Amino acid sequence: MRKLQRQAARTATRKPGSAGIPQLNHEWQRWIAENLLLGSSVEPIAHRLGELGAPANVIAAELQAASSSPYYQAGGTISARLAKREWVLESLSRLAAMALPREVPVAERPTPDAFLRDHYAASRPLILKGMVDHWAARSWSLDRLEALPGHTEIEVQTGREGDATYEIRSEQHKSRMPLRQLLTRLRSGKPSNDYYVTANNSGPNRAALAPLWDEIGDMPGFLDSATMRDGFFWMGPKGTITPFHHDLTNNFLVQIAGTKRVTLVPIWETPRMLNHIHCYSQWPGPGAFANLPDGQRPTAITCTIGPGDTLFIPVGWWHHVEGLDTTIGLSFTNFVWDNDFHTGYQSYGQL
């Protein structure tokens, strides 16, 4: 049964029922229905409500009302369908664990056909070597960025360390500053997760950093050459953390400068990822679940990517990213193959 939040322990009987028996407030009525739909028996629900002071007759009336409601009964059908899909995911997870590599495989300039067959269509990550050796962007550095026009202003995610939900609330953390001011902070070498240029800043930064986009090459057979300017720019100090989340597209993460540690969890492990809202996880990092027993612990693989590496992150795969140095990178979703997995997605709210 789902655990209660202690601060929600207000079982006050606020309104009378039609038969004169007081009722619990809507929050607790929803809690009862949710736990019943999750498969709990009535006994632990009644026990918990009793612990919090609800009268026995109120508990009995509420449980009877919930179980006999046509709304709840319709929800039971949906719950059964969900349970079937959870069984499918668990079966796939157990089968995949038999052969899931302990490390992310590495390939030197694979052919598009081999990549499509073994990774893109198979939903398996890969580190690709040699894919961007011909790009002028490989020379990007803090010095190169400082050579941009002196008035250049850039959008940055800031104030992150004071907000545990900084990624979910990314809109509230956007601010603008002169590029040279940002570069001065980066040159200090001081580790920080308080500021970071991310894909969430891509709109204004695509224009601000326009001269850089001319230095991005192509990946024939992998990415659509006509839309290479639709990529996303990343730059931050050592210590930046992108918490566990999944994307609604397949991604190429191209590392230009510095190194990052990336922890990946397969899409079929989603039931273990404490996915409470949209594409985000409540796990603060891979260490939080490392010591859980089998069956409860998400299966994870970790890799380190450095300059010139391209990491393929399959759609729906959870990933946690840590900057090990001052980093500059790009990400791309403009694959030549179907990558529209967001159109049918509906789970943007609380789960």
- Per-residue confidence (pLDDT) for residue 22, from 0 to 100: 61
For 89, other C-beta atoms within 10 Å of its C-beta total 16
Q: Is 315 within 8 Å of 335 (Cβ atoms)?
A: no
**205 and 275 part of one domain:** yes
Q: What is the rounded distance in angstroms from the CA atom of residue 128 to the CA atom of residue 120?
A: 12
Given 43, 68, 93, the domain boundary residue is: 68
Task: Give the CATH number, domain containing residue 207.
Answer: 2.60.120.650
Instruction: Provide the domain count of the chain.
Output: 2
**113 and 210 part of one domain:** yes
Q: What is the pLDDT of residues 278-321, one digit of tens each?
A: 999 999 999 999 999 988 999 999 999 999 999 999 999 999 99
Q: Is 313 within 8 Å of 335 (Cβ atoms)?
A: no
Given 68, 94, 121, the domain boundary residue is: 68
Please name the residue that has the structure tokens 């550095």: 141
**What does pTM read for this prediction?**
0.86
Q: What is the CA radius of gyration of the chain?
A: 25
Average pLDDT over residues 168-186: 96
Residue 300 belongs to some domain of the structure: yes
Buried b (16+ CB within 10 A) or exposed e, 11-46: bebeeeeeeeebbbeeebeebbbebbbeeeebeebb
**112 and 62 part of one domain:** no
Q: Is 296 within 8 Å of 90 (Cβ atoms)?
A: no
Please name the amino acid found at residue 230. Answer: D
Residue 17 belongs to some domain of the structure: yes
Q: What is the rounded distance in angstroms from the CA atom of residue 20 to the CA atom of residue 15?
A: 9
Residue 262 belongs to some domain of the structure: yes
**133 and 251 part of one domain:** yes
**218 and 306 part of one domain:** yes
Phi and psi at residue 153, in whole multiples of 5°?
A: -115, 145
**120 and 54 part of one domain:** no
Residue 41 belongs to some domain of the structure: yes
Q: What is the rounded distance in angstroms from the CA atom of residue 32 to the CA atom of residue 29?
A: 5
**134 and 58 part of one domain:** no
**152 and 271 part of one domain:** yes
Nearest to 258 by CA among 211, 207, 326, 180: 326
Nearest to 108 by CA among 138, 126, 124, 128: 128
Q: How confident is the model at residue 117 (pLDDT cuts 50, 70, 90)?
A: very high
In angstroms, what CA-CA distances link 149 with 162, 187, 211, 239? 32, 18, 10, 28
- 283: exposed, middle or buried (C-beta count within 10 Å: 0-12, 13-18, 19+)? buried
Q: What is the rounded distance in angstroms from the CA atom of residue 152 to the CA atom of residue 4?
A: 50
Please name the residue that has the structure tokens 């809109």: 171
**314 and 176 part of one domain:** yes
List the strands of the sheet with 106-108, edge to edge.
106-108, 126-129, 310-313, 251-257, 327-332, 232-236
Residue 345 belongs to some domain of the structure: no
Residue 180 belongs to some domain of the structure: yes
**176 and 29 part of one domain:** no
Q: What is the pLDDT of residues 218-271, one digit of tens each?
A: 999 999 999 999 999 999 999 999 999 999 999 999 999 999 999 999 999 999
**What mean pLDDT, rounded, does the chain reach?**
91
- Per-residue confidence (pLDDT) for residue 4, from 0 to 100: 43
∠ CA 60-63-66 to the nearest 5 degrees?
145
- Per-residue confidence (pLDDT) for residue 25, from 0 to 100: 87
Q: What is the rounded distance in angstroms from the CA atom of residue 349 to the CA atom of residue 351?
A: 6
Which residues constitute the domain of residue 151? 103-332
- Per-residue confidence (pLDDT) for residue 7, from 0 to 100: 32
Residue 154 has pLDDT above 90, yes or no: yes
Residue 21 has pLDDT above 80, yes or no: no
Residue 351 belongs to some domain of the structure: no
* Residue 11 CB-half CA count within 13 A: 19
Q: What is the pLDDT of residues 62-111, one digit of tens each?
A: 999 998 999 888 888 888 898 899 999 999 989 988 888 889 999 999 99
Residue 81 belongs to some domain of the structure: no
**25 and 121 part of one domain:** no
- Per-residue confidence (pLDDT) for residue 42, from 0 to 100: 92
**45 and 111 part of one domain:** no
Given 20, 43, 68, the domain boundary residue is: 68
